[in-house]
Amino acid sequence: MKVRIGDQDALIVVDMQKDFMPGGALPVPDGDKIVPRLNEYIEMFEKRGLPVFFTRDWHPENHISFKGHGGVWPPHCVQNTEGAMFHDDLRMPLDNKFIISKGTSPDFDAYSGFQGTVLESLLKERGVKRVFVGGVATDYCVKNTVLGALNLGFEALLLLDGIKGVDVRPGDSEKAIELMLEKGAVGIEIGDLTG
């Protein structure tokens, strides 16, 4: 599968925040291991002047997804806390970079970067037709962001070497990948990129 990055492409990096990394409040095993690879993808977009979107979970401290507030997760990615910050080594372009906060109001959760955000309109007003998606967690926010993109009419390339899952039930990430591919996403790795 050879892919050439072009001017209708954008990169979406999902939820690479400290709370989702080993040692964080809701750790994704080996979540930190994909940082170098994601940085390579980010650099390729940055060099071409193409937009890079960083989604982040950005919850109030009484968020509905938290245990004790009706949800199943330990409190995580609380607005303005250290755990909500991006991984220190994640490459942040100076230009053409967008931070998309989701799950920001107490009573709504959002696993998709498109849910309750301006992501779709920012992509469409830039003429983006195809999104490359990596980050965490494969079985939650990556899955829902990819499915959201497909539903909205974008082509979606799943960065197979730039995702990690939580696997609350063993096999969840594998199943999520199968579902994304079945729905029309195309799985790629860094070696598939040309030019």
State the catalytic residues.
15, 102, 141
With CB under 6 A as the contact rule, the residue among 5, 9, 12, 15 that binds ligand VGL is 15
User: From CA 9, how far away is CA 45, in angstroms rounded?
Assistant: 9
Nearer to Zn ion, 161 or 167 (CB): 167
State yes or no: residue 137 binds ligand VGL (CB under 6 A).
yes
State yes or no: residue 57 binds Zn ion (CB under 5 A).
yes
User: From CA 55, how far away is CA 84, in angstroms rounded?
Assistant: 11
| Span of 17-25, 51-59, 78-86, 117-125 interacting with Zn ion by CB under 5 A | 51-59
Q: Answer for the pair 99, 79: CB distance below 8 angstroms, yes or no.
A: no
- Number of residues in the chain: 195
Q: Residues near 52 by Cβ (< 8 Å), separated by ≥ 6?
A: 10, 11, 13, 42, 45, 46, 93, 96, 97, 98
| Span of 55-63, 82-90, 123-131, 176-184 interacting with Zn ion by CB under 5 A | 55-63
Chain contacts with ligand VGL (rule: CB under 6 A): 15, 57, 65, 73, 136-137, 140-141
